[in-house]
Amino acid sequence: MRKLKLTELGRLSPEEFERQEKTPVVVVLDNIRSAMNVGSFFRTADALAISKIYLCGITAQPPHKEITKTAIGATETVAWQHIEDIGALLLELKDQGYRIVGVEQTTESVPLNTFKVQGNTALLFGNEVDGLSNSILPALDACVEIPQFGTKHSLNVSVCGGIVLWHVVNSIKGNP
């Protein structure tokens, strides 16, 4: 066994990535405080060919030193847009045929491993302390959570994002 060299990884150029068909998933970040978490979402979105990231409310936007540090160039390849009013965005996404899925612990959330992906999906991730805003819960079509077995009942939002996005993309691509 040996580690692969960068030249052996078969990475796409930014131009090839732009032309590549994207996964029918958008990420909505609701008031994420840490720019490093935002950068991590960009990097994950690039790795999984996510269609777009929406940065809502106080969520930091590129160009930003901490986003750039963790995204390592993904802000240049992943489509993104800042939207102040998340409620209006969710209505627009529903009109475009997206299923609105919150990632949050609620009375109606289902374990991620049992979640069935159906068509275009908008995944919402909330603030590191408060989670998703209560005001947007009625707009959700579904809610998922990651089963946890320790004393803490939360994960860092960018870690959570990586797990959820990997599961959803694998489900879409037929690799449950």
pLDDT along the chain (176 residues), means of 10: 93 93 97 98 98 97 97 97 97 98 97 93 97 96 96 95 97 80
What domains can be seen in the chain, in order of their start residue? 21-172 (3.40.1280.10)
Tell me what pLDDT residue 62 has.
97
Residue 14, pLDDT score: 93
Given a contact cutoff of 8 angstroms between Cβ atoms, the answer to whether 32 and 56 are in contact is no
pLDDT at 69: 97
Confidence (pLDDT) at 176: 57
pTM value > 0.75? yes
Residue 8: predicted pLDDT: 94
Pairwise CA distance, residues 46 & 76, whole Å: 10
d(CA 75, CA 60): 12
What per-residue confidence (pLDDT) applies to 111?
A: 98
The encoded tokens of residue 147 equal 């089963």
pLDDT reported for residue 174: 82
- Supply the pLDDT for residue 153: 87
Closest CA to 144 of 91, 98, 103, 94: 103
Q: What is the pLDDT of residue 12?
A: 93
